Structure 1
Amino acid sequence: MRMLFTGLTAVILGTIPTFAQTAQNPPQTYNPILARPVTLPAIFPTPVSITPGKGSVMLGKSIVLVVAPGADPEAEALVRNTLTAAGVETITTARQLPSVPDRPYIILGTGDAEIVRSALARSAAVPDSNAEGYTIASVAAGNGALITLAGHDADGLFHAAQTFRQLAQRSTIPALVIQDHPAMAIRGTIEGFYGAPWSMTDRAKHLHFLATVKANTYVYSPKDDPYARDRWREAYSPAILKELSTLVTTARQNHINFVYAISPGPSVCFSNPADRQALERKFSALRSIGVHSFYVALDDIEYTKWNCALDSTTFGPSSAEAAGIAQAQLLNAIQADLNTVDPAAPPLIMVPTEYYDAKESPYKAALRKNLNPKIVVQWTGTDVVPPAISIPDARAATKAFGRKTLLWDNYPVNDYAQTTGRLLLAPYVRREAGLSAELTGILSNPMNQEAPSRVAVTGVAAFGWNDKAYDAVRTWHAAARELAGGDERTTEALLTFFDTQHMAPTFGSQPWQEQAPRLKAVLDGVREAIANGDDATRHQAIADLVLYADRFAGAPDIIRAGTVDTAFAQESRPWLDAMQLWGRALQLTVAGLDAADKGSIAAGRYFASAKRLAAAAAAIRTIPGATRFEGGIKIADGVLDVFVGDAPKLIAFEQE
């Protein structure tokens, strides 16, 4: 997959030679192409700092790769694939750096390797010293260049390789120094939705995607996996374990921490040693295939009613407070077992029964008092689907749970009634910059549709990496470009489609993001132009809307043909089908307005045909079994349907 950039001027240094031609060492004769300014690239997630140098370098057809001892093999493989995709034909290897390079040398390794430190010094750069951090330094030298990818650790080196993948999409790589590291320690997704789980193929694709946005965590927690919830005591079959093992390997290759979550809450007996042992056996089986991170989910359960008489004897009458004590006792025992059998494993993660808001309660107080402080607690914000999350909100959660929380953000998940008929494709917004200081991390709960989920998850990951420099709209555009493989026409078609799915509902009646703001602005402009009575303005507005309607109606076919992963079009099929019909309805509506404006009696026929197509579009339903709530597909509802319905009244026309 490729990440390309918005609003950047490509720097083209003429015909690609077999060596690195640099702007520092131009030919003696003036070349206007070489005189073009060197521009900095846009990188997503946004790095902590990018400092420009002088000049730029083309990779050319031949480069030398210097891999430091012990360098991460996945990072090396990614760099090699990136170079091949960039048109490099010959990759030779070396162990030393020349005093004056005659072509590009790419140095790959961690900052503790002598050759990496030497290369950084020659670029006037220092290694980043933060976990998962990296430094990239590129400098033109002689007829060649040094491009150093230095990771603080193996993860950092892999992230450096991902950034290099983006840099190499341009025709030249500018001289620069990038210092970068994540703001949040945990970043990624939790497959925690109800309804049809992702397939193993979906999950593998998602892990590859997470790597491209520098995420580091995937939690396996599908609500409809019976062996993780309803039948949690039962062992997985060898066949399922084999599939999960393949997934764990894919995660490891992408530097993603695979976290296995189990949901025993509906039937667990907290004080029964047999149930604790059943949990430990399940974790042991997963550990045998390479899982080292575990999670106990206690959400969406009845917590004021015991599942067994033994809990009543042990903890007394059922209550929220007693549930908190019982849960803490079980989780502490599980954490103690993890400490014994796998001392290097990350801490246990749990999601509490009161996972929403930060209001003080007997349950939260019991957890705060009794739960091992090492255990990570997830929290969904001020509500199940919060319209916004602020720094004071996160601080209140820290106080309520007695530790900084791991944010479970229920966006773009579409498994609740208010999301019926919707994909959630708006940018990730209204999370306050600075939350990184108050949270241990952030996990997005995605949709049943994996490929469309990447639009919002790109934003969540970028916010988790660098919340202070996060730009929601630019990141949104970058997500579209990634899906489009860099093709501008497909990117614009995708953004037009995203706009029709901009609605972001909550559990209440008020959404936290409005529907179709781009389309609404266009249609409102047409209404205003018609209403003001100026003939020229009205004629021009209608003519402009003809062009817009054509682009709108044509967008679905462009998306079907142009997205790099066919899964996006497949999983979005009914929405694209409905959008196409709505687009034709809009075309006929504009034709009706144009006819009415010219006094033609054909206006009524156009409007009637538009109404029929709109009804056909509104009748399209979601893919059976794909989502928890099924229903009619919604396309720019409240905006496009209203305009099509109102259009016959905007200009008086003669009926046939």
Structure 2
Amino acid sequence: MTRRIGHIGACSPLIMAVAALTGLSTVPASAKTATLPEIFPAPASITLGTGAVTLGTSVVLIAAPGVDPETIALVRRILTASGVETIATAQRLPSVLDRPHIILGPDTAAVVRDALDRSQTSADRHAEGYTIVSMPAGRGGVVTLAGHDADGLFHAAQTFRQIAARPFIPALVIHDHPAMPIRGTIEGFYGAPWSMADRTKHLEFLATVKANTYVYSPKDDPYARARWREPYPAATLSALGTLAATARRNHVDFVYAVSPGPSVCFSDPADLQALEHKFDAIRSIGVDSFYVALDDIEYAKWNCDRDKATFGPSGAEAAGIAQSRLLNAVQTQLAKADPKARPLIMVPTEYYDAKETPYKAALRKYLDPRIVVQWTGTDVVPPAISVPDALAATKAFGRKTLLWDNYPVNDYAQTTGRLLMAPYARRQAGLSGELTGILSNPMNQEAPSRVAVTGVAAFAWNDEAYDADRTWHAAARELAGGDERATRALLTFFDTQHMAPTFGSQPWQEQAPRLKATLDRVREAIAGSDDRARSDAIKDLARCADEIANAPDIIRSGTVDPGFAAQSRPWLDAMQRWGRALQLTAAGLAAADDGNTAASRYFADAKRLAAEAAAIPSIPGATRFDGPIKIADGVLDTFVTDAPTLFALPVAAEAAPAK
């Protein structure tokens, strides 16, 4: 799927059609020099026209019958945020426009179909697809939001949110739909689960990036794993029901996952019945999508003698057969309870790599083809995923897999003291042809997770047009509420948390690449013989140090999402101290360059502050592994340590002996 970018001339049939639609014969005087808006995720196709629509303070909203109230409410909030004070309503377009008109509805609605036909624009007919046509006319213009289905219309509104944030809406035509049918997150980490408040915020965030799936699967929910046979307490079940309702309002599929693997007896009808009862209870609160997790368990032994008698000695192949039998029965019951229900999702015990094994062969042979299989890539935390990797997984499991991407999750030892906030990268364009979708496993910290999840959602929506760095910057702007100063501060912070580890010794994303480039230039300039270059490099270092030291206060100032600042607290504390240490280091280098004996004092103070920064602990219990906070480790700490050795430090003259 490619992103087609074109231009509509002032005398194009589309412009002329809109003029006819509104009783006008000329292009309006309000025609402005239009520029292509940045939209994330990138649309499948966007064509830029001439002129623009200025919303002003009064618009008319035409909502076709049957539009979701949530979608109408979202469009109203967007208009209000854009400065619109009066939102009138109507059922059809007038012959002459006196102000902007917004048309909202399914592409089958008469008023929407008429607007598309008269503007000579066809509708996007893909699932979750939408079409937006914006054309200036008269003293306003027409903006048509047409969804192929209810989800598509909601996605159209999310795109409208982005283009309406500009001073004016350019004339354009957008045809858009997702490349992958499943896009979102799985709360599948170990350690402290998210709070219900964080989950609510996350579901609202997922809507903004056009994600459509959230899997509830916290490893530390006892009623989903250790005590999975037991019913939820009434209060917890009610809270899950409220969460599911929030998901529906945001057009996100709430998937409930149970993890019976550590204790289940695959051949026992009582355990099958226990699963059915669990799902029946969850169905009663409005959830109709289900998941059985069989990860992180052993298949070298059975949990009951009955399984040994039924399936023979324990082992990989026997486990695959036993799991298939149980899951097939669950799938049958789900389809019986609701023929329209989405297929069951499962994560297998061998959830990574695509090597042929007896276990995978058993799943391929016996598992109901309707059941969706998750796969984490070439490793638990893969450094990259290619189309050939996904093809191999399709062959191994006998179906296209749903990628469980273990990024940016930080529940394993190599992530101790880290937030993982590098761009989502090294996933090959074209994966949409061989995956059913991607679910990101986020961090224990919900708001900081949005940085990477924005990239995951954008890649899953349009992998061919995905730009990792631009999407990364867009995530920062969104967290900063559009404030440029706060955006820059966030990007400075992200750079100090850029390193993405694997289960091995080599990370798949380097640490602090922007800061490292600056520090490398300083080293090179000091090593050179150009006095001016050396002085300029040290001044650049001082400005960089100021950015690092000041970023935490900017992030905490209230512009950035408060949840982000709260969940990042110890990292921001440590970053500020490291920034001050770097300020002192820059002062020491400047003093040394001038032959000033104060250099040693500056370096000593920098060393003291660096030690304080390195000792700041993570929030106890917030993540699976507690430990000291890491800020640009291997880059910033190394430079602060090495700086005193880059010059032959001047020594203060000794006082003359007393006579």
Mapped to 2, the partners of 1:490 and 1:23 lie a distance apart of 43
- Answer yes or no: is the 8 Å Cα contact 2:350–2:360 preserved in 1: yes
**Residue 74, structure 1, aligned to residue 74, structure 2:** no
Following superposition of structure 1 onto structure 2, how do residues 254-403 of structure 1 map, counting pairs within 5 Å? 254-403=250-399
User: 1:243-283, CA deviations, whole angstroms, 9 ceiling, x for partnerless residues?
Assistant: 00100000000000000000000000000000000000000
Match runs of 1:26-37 below 5 Å: 26=29, 37=33
Aligned match of 2:423: 427
Quick check: 2:134–2:173 contact (8 Å CA) kept in 1? yes
**2:340 aligned counterpart, secondary structure:** coil
Give the structure 2 partner of residue 591 of structure 1. 587
- Residues 102, 143 of structure 2: 8 Å contact kept: yes
Matched, 1:95 2:91: yes
Q: C-alpha displacement at 1:73, in angstroms?
A: 1.7
Distance in 1, matches of 2:537 and 2:125, equals: 56
Once the two structures are superposed, residues 307-336 of structure 1 have per-residue CA deviations (whole angstroms, 9 ceiling, x without a partner) of: 000000000011110000000000000000
2:565 to 557, 565, 569: 569
Partner of 2:557, secondary structure, is helix
Helix, strand or coil at the partner of 1:467: coil
Could you tell me which residue of structure 2 aligns to residue 210 of structure 1?
Answer: 206
Q: Structure 1 unaligned segments of length 5 or more: list them.
A: 1-20, 28-33
d(CA) in 2 for partners of 1:636, 1:105: 50
Shift, 1:549, TM fit: 1.0
Alignment partner, residue 108 of structure 2: 112
| Corresponding letter in the other structure for 1:421 | G
Distance 2:340 2:640 in 1: 61
Q: The residue matched to 2:409 in structure 1 has which SS? A: coil
Indicate the residue corresponding to 1:545 in structure 2: 541
- 3-state SS, counterpart of residue 303 of structure 2: coil
- Mapped to 1, the partners of 2:267 and 2:603 lie a distance apart of 69
Residues 375/22 of structure 1: CA separation in 2 closer, same or farther (3 Å cut): farther
Q: Distance in 2 between matches of 1:177 and 1:541?
A: 47
Asked if 2 retains the 8 angstrom alpha-carbon contact of 1:22 and 1:57, the reply is: no
Q: Does 1:619 align with 2:615?
A: yes
- Counterpart AA for 2:611: A
> Partner residue of 2:475?
479
Distance 2:650 2:236 in 1: 68
Distance 1:336 1:311 in 2: 21
Q: What residue number does 2:13 align with?
A: none
Q: In the alignment, which residue of structure 1 is the partner of 2:634?
A: 638
- Could you tell me which residue of structure 2 aligns to residue 652 of structure 1? 648
- Confirm whether residue 46 of structure 1 aligns to residue 46 of structure 2: no
Matched, 1:83 2:79: yes
Indicate the residue corresponding to 2:657 in structure 1. none
Aligned CA RMSD, in angstroms, stands at 1.3
Report the count of equivalent residues.
Answer: 630
1:495 aligned onto 2:498: no
Instruction: Select 2:152's aligned residue among 151, 156, 163.
Output: 156
Q: What residue in structure 2 maps to residue 25 of structure 1?
A: 28
Letter in 1 for 2:94: P
> Residue type matched to 1:288 in 2?
S
Q: Is the 8 A contact 1:207 1:254 kept in 2?
A: yes
Corresponding residue SS for 2:41: coil
Match of 1:458 among 450, 454, 460: 454
Task: Give the deviation of 1:22 after TM superposition.
Answer: 14
The one-letter amino acid of 1:154's match is: A
1:29-48: CA deviations, max 9, x gaps? xxxxx7x6211110000000
2:117 to 121, 127, 152: 121
Aligned position for 2:19: none
Once the 2 structures are TM-superposed, how far is the Cα of residue 651 of structure 1 from its aligned partner? Answer: 1.3
Q: Tell me, yes or no, if the aligned pair for 2:67 and 2:150 is still in contact at 8 Å.
A: yes
Deviations 1:17-69 (A, max 9, x none): xxxx9994228xxxxxx7x6211110000000110112101001111111111
Match of 2:5 in 1: none
Q: Distance in 2 between matches of 1:316 and 1:575?
A: 52
Which TM-score applies when normalising by structure 1?
Answer: 0.95
Note the C-alpha offset of 1:198: 0.1
3-state SS of paired residue (2:639): helix
1:86-109 Cα deviation digits (max 9, x unpaired): 111111111111122111111100
How far is the alpha carbon of 1:464 from its aligned partner? 0.3
Q: Is contact 2:375–2:401 with CA below 8 Å preserved after alignment? A: yes
SS where residue 117 of structure 1 aligns? Answer: helix
Which residue in 2 is equivalent to 1:138?
A: 134
> Any runs of at least 4 consecutive aligned residues in structure 1 with deviations exceeding 4 A, and if so which?
none
Distance in 2 (CA, whole Å) between partners of 1:232 and 1:117 is 50
8 A Cα contact 1:412 1:444, kept in partner:
yes
- How far residue 123 of structure 1 moved from its aligned partner, in angstroms, is 2.5
The answer on whether the counterparts of 1:22 and 1:140 sit within 8 Å (CA) in structure 2 is no
Contact 2:244-2:285 at 8 Å conserved across structures = yes
Q: Are 1:22 and 1:143, in contact at CA under 8 Å, matched by a contact in 2? A: no
Equivalent residue number for residue 223 of structure 1: 219
User: What letter corresponds to residue 258 of structure 2 in structure 1?
Assistant: I
Which stretch shows the higher mean deviation, 562-571 or 101-110?
562-571
Partner of 1:192: 188
Moved more, 45-54 or 544-553: 544-553
Instruction: Quote how far apart the aligned CAs of 1:592 are.
Output: 0.4
Which residue of structure 2 aligns with residue 61 of structure 1? Answer: 57
2:486–2:560 Cα contact (<8 Å) kept: no
**Is 2:41–2:462's contact at 8 Å kept on the other side of the alignment?**
yes
**Map of 1:238 onto structure 2:** 234
Between the two proteins, what is the percent identity of the paired residues?
76
Aligned to 1:5: none
Checking the alignment, whether the CA contact within 8 Å between 2:268 and 2:306 is kept in structure 1 is yes
Offset at residue 120 of structure 1 (A): 1.2
CA–CA distance in structure 1, aligned partners of residues 54 and 318 of structure 2: 66
Q: Distance in 2 between matches of 1:555 and 1:25?
A: 45
Q: Pick from 569, 576, 580 the counterpart of residue 580 of structure 1.
A: 576
Corresponding letter in the other structure for 2:486: T
Task: State the partner residue of 1:30.
Answer: none
Asked whether the 8 Å contact 1:381–1:408 carries over to 2, the reply is yes
SS at match of 2:331: helix
Match of 1:439 in 2: 435
Q: CA deviation at 1:410?
A: 0.1
C-alpha offsets along residues 470-526 of structure 1, whole Å, 9 cap, x if unaligned?
Answer: 000000000000000000000000000000000000000000000000000000001
For 2:27 and 2:186, locate their aligned partners in 1 and report how far apart those are by CA, in whole Å.
Answer: 48
Q: Distance in 2 between matches of 1:563 and 1:540?
A: 33
Aligned to 1:18: none
- Report the CA distance shift for 1:22/1:470 in structure 2 as closer, same or farther (over 3 A): farther
- Counterpart in the other structure of 1:8: none
State the distance in 2 between where 1:606 and 1:288 align: 66
Distance in 1 between residues matched to 2:651 and 2:323, nearest whole Å: 71
Letter in 1 for 2:29: P
> Helix, strand or coil for the counterpart of 2:556?
helix
Kept in 2, the 8 Å contact 1:556–1:576? The answer is yes
For the 8 Å contact 2:570–2:618, the answer to whether it is kept is: yes
2:411 to 404, 408, 415: 415
Does the 8 Å CA contact 1:22/1:56 hold for their aligned counterparts? no
2:179 to 159, 179, 183: 183
TM-score, reference length from structure 2: 0.94
